[in-house]
């Protein structure tokens, strides 16, 4: 059974490997038939390469995947699991239809003989090796596979099916690898391309530029019209791809515990405290009555702060609390101590790294010794840690928290800390592979474990509280028949905050910070929901949501509404650029004098050693147009004002150093070839998907 479980696991791995080459279509939510929400008779879940996928055949594949998953894991699939299983089933359809057409066109196949060779021949599949490798010795023996196959017919039917699925996935993965390798081999880098890359990386320039950032012109002073947005979109349609989306405004009514709920729980926790005190088996009593499971034995460092503060008053059999942490009340029963096999300590440190050779190491030691002397002289350890330590603990004044002497720390550090008695500063540097440490013990080492039975009860809204919140939300929805009513009613109720969710895709599972929001998304995409319609109260996690539909876009039509925010930013910057260029005028004199004449916001910077491949221009950032102009100018020449990515620039090239001549561009050719090869899987998947014209309509059903 252990072996077949491994096969099931690897079968899932094989499916995962195949799915890596696909971009997942994320969907979720509860299953709804098309009749129940969208109406009509269309039972098509999607279309791939002209082939329609019916709801029935898709759901059958999902059921098959779910059964295999539940058999493998031994538990029912959760809703989140089912989202992933539906993705897996959809991706399998893409493989079976879109990818298979490409394989067939090239005559690719995995023969029976090839599969046998992958399983028990000379070229064993990595998945087979991993599955049948002895975990004790790490050795793979082909005879183990052969013996397993000989006994396969005597195994239960479910194990035989698991092996069949495993082999099928091996074959599918080999086919995909063949196809991708074939296309990778078709990629070729010319000497001219390698030479161009060499020039881009090694030609250098020094430059000076004036930048007037777009932000110096307030947005409120630049009016952008819809006609300007449309003109821009018409000129850049290839950059914007539309999709079905909805835009909502909504308010939430949180279902939070009431004062009465808190009082009721407090009374309950006091009753439980009496029961815990009298319980002969307090650990079982705590386990049965607690919402939160906690360890029975704790070190001092593992205790919550409120409990730790009472350790000095501990008496065997005593009950402590209730203590409130967030929305949870805790009570604790102390029943004595025992000794742990490990010691626990709390310490802080200041790390001075010693990277480099002997000179750097000596400098690091000198610096660390100086800091140690300052602390010994009365300086604040925490302040010096925040200023000097070279690791993340500097943000906590060097505090490393609690740790044990079970090799949680590197040996020299551990030995120094646990050989120290009491608290205080260790009066010497401790050297480790990371550098030099200055260490302070903040709580002494101890191996005492406290036996503490814990009950934690979390305040949750009662049904009465939930019903009252629903009543308020539904009343708001009933009184808001239109967008105007929605706006008016939110103004009346000052506790309500209107949120906006723009361009929600049809298969979204969340809306802004609202998780598990499929019901809200389905309402927005319902064919009977029109612009300015208001929803009823929709339950989303621990709140009710009332929404109004304010916008929609279609995959069949690119409009400014699809990309209003992005288009507005682009057009606004164009208009700002026109204003700035007009104000700069003829731009004569030095760049400094031009900046001074322009006024507030204009700045001048010098950038040395720029290259075309990775040019970075300080405040101007990465601006390909500006870099191109710098390399297009002769030394000593200046450009006219132009619109860049961050603002309007005037660039001045001060020096150009051509790349030295080389006879061999092999390094750059290999570099480009490797880059192309690493992108191949993604690019192949994109091309197949585009060619297959995939239409995913699962959101209408799930």
Q: Are 22 and 89 in contact (CB under 8 A)?
A: no
pLDDT of residue 447: 93
User: What whole-number distance in Å separates Cα of residue 269 and Cα of residue 456?
Assistant: 8
**Alpha helices of 377-517 — where are they, by DSSP H?**
381-388, 411-418, 463-478, 483-492
Q: Are 684 and 21 in contact (CB under 8 A)?
A: yes
Structure token digits, residue 683: 């690019």
pLDDT of residue 52: 94
CA angle 408, 410, 416 (to 5 degrees): 100
What DSSP string describes 224-290? Answer: --HHHHHHHHHHTGGG-----EEEEEEEEEE----HHHHHHHHHHHHHHHHHHHH-SSHHHHHHHH-
pLDDT of residue 35: 39
Q: What is the largest CA-CA distance in the chain?
A: 93
pLDDT of residue 41: 56
pLDDT of residue 338: 94
Strand (E) or helix (H) holding 653:
strand 647-657
pLDDT of residue 629: 95
User: What whole-number distance in Å separates Cα of residue 627 and Cα of residue 646?
Assistant: 13
User: What whole-number distance in Å separates Cα of residue 589 and Cα of residue 638?
Assistant: 11
User: What whole-number distance in Å separates Cα of residue 51 and Cα of residue 178?
Assistant: 25
Query: What residue ranges of the chain have pLDDT lower than 70?
Result: 1-41, 356
């Amino acid at each position: 059974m252990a072996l077949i479980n491994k096969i099931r696991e690897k079968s899932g791995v094989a499916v995962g490997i195949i799915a890596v080459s696909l971009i997942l279509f994320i969907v979720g939510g509860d299953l709804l038939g098309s009749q129940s929400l969208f109406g009509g008779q269309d039972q098509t879940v999607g279309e791939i390469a002209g082939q329609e996928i019916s709801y029935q055949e898709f759901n059958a594949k999902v059921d098959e995947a779910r059964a295999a998953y539940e058999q493998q894991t031994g538990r029912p699939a959760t809703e989140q699991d089912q989202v992933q299983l539906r993705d897996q089933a959809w991706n399998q359809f893409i493989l079976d239809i879109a990818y298979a057409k490409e394989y067939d066109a090239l005559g690719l196949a995995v023969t029976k003989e090839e599969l046998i060779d992958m399983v028990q021949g000379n070229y064993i599949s990595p998945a087979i090796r991993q599955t049948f490798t002895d975990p004790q010795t790490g050795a793979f023996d082909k005879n183990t596979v052969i013996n397993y196959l000989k006994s396969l017919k005597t195994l239960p039917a479910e194990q035989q099916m698991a092996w069949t699925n495993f082999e099928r996935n091996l074959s599918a993965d080999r086919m995909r690898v063949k196809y991708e390798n074939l296309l990778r081999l078709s990629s070729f880098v010319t000497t001219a391309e390698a030479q161009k890359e060499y020039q881009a990386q090694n030609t250098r320039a020094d430059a000076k530029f004036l930048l007037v950032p777009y932000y110096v012109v307030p947005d409120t002073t630049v009016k952008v019209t819809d006609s300007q947005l449309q003109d821009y979109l018409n000129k850049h349609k290839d950059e914007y791809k539309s999709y079905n989306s909805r835009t909502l405004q909504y308010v939430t009514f949180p279902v939070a515990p009431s004062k009465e709920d808190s009082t009721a729980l407090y009374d309950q926790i006091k009753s439980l405290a009496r029961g815990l005190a009298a319980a002969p088996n307090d650990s079982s009593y705590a386990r049965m009555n607690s919402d939160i499971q906690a360890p029975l034995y704790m070190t001092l460092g593992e205790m919550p702060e409120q409990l730790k503060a009472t350790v000095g008053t501990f008496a065997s059999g005593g009950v402590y609390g209730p203590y409130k942490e967030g929305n949870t009340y805790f009570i604790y029963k102390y029943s004595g101590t025992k000794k742990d096999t490990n010691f626990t300590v709390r310490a802080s440190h200041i790390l001075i790294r010693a990277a480099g050779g002997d000179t750097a190491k000596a400098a690091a030691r000198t610096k660390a010794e100086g800091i140690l002397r300052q602390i010994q002289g009365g300086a604040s350890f925490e302040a010096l840690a925040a200023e000097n330590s070279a690791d993340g603990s500097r943000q906590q004044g060097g505090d490393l928290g609690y740790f044990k002497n079970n090799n949680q720390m590197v040996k020299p550090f551990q030995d120094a800390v646990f050989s120290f008695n009491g608290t205080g500063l260790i009066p010497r540097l401790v050297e480790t592979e990371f550098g030099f440490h200055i260490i302070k013990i903040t709580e002494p080492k101890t191996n005492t474990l406290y036996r503490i039975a814990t009950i934690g009860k979390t305040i949750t809204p009662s049904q009465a509280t939930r019903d009252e919140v629903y009543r308020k939300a539904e009343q708001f929805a009933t009184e808001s028949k239109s967008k105007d009513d929605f706006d008016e009613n939110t103004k009346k109720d000052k506790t309500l905050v209107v949120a906006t969710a723009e361009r929600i895709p049809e298969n979204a599972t969340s809306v802004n910070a609202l998780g598990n929001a499929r019901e809200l998304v389905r309402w927005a995409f319902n064919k009977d929901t029109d612009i300015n319609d208001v929803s009823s109260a929709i339950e989303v996690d621990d709140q009710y949501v009332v929404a109004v539909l304010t916008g929609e876009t279609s995959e069949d039509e690119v409009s400014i509404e699809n990309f209003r925010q992005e288009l507005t930013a682009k057009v606004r910057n164009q208009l700002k650029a026109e204003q700035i260029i007009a104000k700069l005028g003829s731009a004569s004199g030095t760049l400094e004098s031009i900046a001074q004449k322009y006024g507030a916001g204009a700045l001048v910077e010098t950038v040395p050693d720029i290259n075309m491949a990775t040019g970075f221009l300080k405040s101007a950032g990465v601006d390909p147009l500006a870099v191109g102009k710098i390399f297009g100018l002769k030394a000593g020449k200046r450009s006219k004002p132009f619109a860049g990515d961050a603002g309007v620039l005037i660039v001045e090239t001060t020096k150009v150093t051509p790349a030295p001549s080389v006879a061999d561009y092999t390094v750059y050719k290999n570099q480009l070839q490797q880059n192309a090869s690493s992108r191949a899987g993604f690019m192949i998947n994109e091309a197949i998907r585009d060619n297959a014209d995939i239409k995913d309509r699962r959101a209408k059903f799930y």
